[in-house]
Amino acid sequence: MYRQILVDTRDVDYQRILWKAPTEECVNEFRLLTVTYGTVCAPYLALRVLKQFAHDEGARFPLATSILTNNIYVDDCVFGAEDKPLALQTRDQLIQLLGKASFRLRKWTSNCPTLIRNIDPTDHGLASDKLFSMDESLKILGIAWNPESDSFRFQINLSLNIVPAKRTILSTIAKMYDPLGWVTPVIITAKILMQKLWLQQCS
């Protein structure tokens, strides 16, 4: 996505890079004309451009405009619909609207195979012949999603070979990634255990 967004011509001088080919003596100087990966402002610029584009060009695509305005999370676009025809219409509007800016949506996945049937298989999020596992899962906001059962999965790997200590328990609690708060009861229970260990002055 970043490479599709041009930087204002007044700012490209701030994106100069030096490059030297292994076989050449001289150093070449280039100016990057698009939003650059790794810069602090890149994620903001990309999302801001998408929102502005939806505002400027979205009058004919109300469903897509709503999705681009409210359902983009970092680099994931996540949406649902009440029924299949509405989901198909939303999908088509997203493809058409983003196509106007040469943005191509990839990693399409749905719990309804009909919705991705006429999407290029190279743009699917998970190959249809792969079985779902935690290693080959689709991730939404860092959470594993199984489109076949339409369920999210959380996995914590605990090592039984280490001596339990406050440090290892705290490390395990910190590994519980839950941006939506779905496993908060489990995390709270672990934090209460940690609090009790501190109160009892256990090592």
Q: What does the DSSP assignment read for 150-168? A: TEEE------TTSPP-HHH
Euclidean distance between the first and the last CA atom of the chain, given in angstroms as a whole number: 49
Per the CB < 8 A criterion, the answer to whether 116 and 108 are in contact is yes
> What's the pLDDT at 136?
52
Q: By CB neighbour count within 10 A (0-12 exposed, 13-18 middle, 19+ buried), where does 79 fall?
A: middle
The per-residue pLDDT for range 60-84, each reduced to its tens digit, is 999 999 999 998 887 788 888 899 9
Does pTM top 0.85 for this prediction? no
Q: How many residues does the chain have?
A: 203
Domain boundaries, given as residue ranges, for the chain: 1-105, 166-200
Per the CB < 8 A criterion, the answer to whether 170 and 194 are in contact is yes
> What's the pLDDT at 128?
46
All residue ranges of the chain with pLDDT < 50 are 127-135
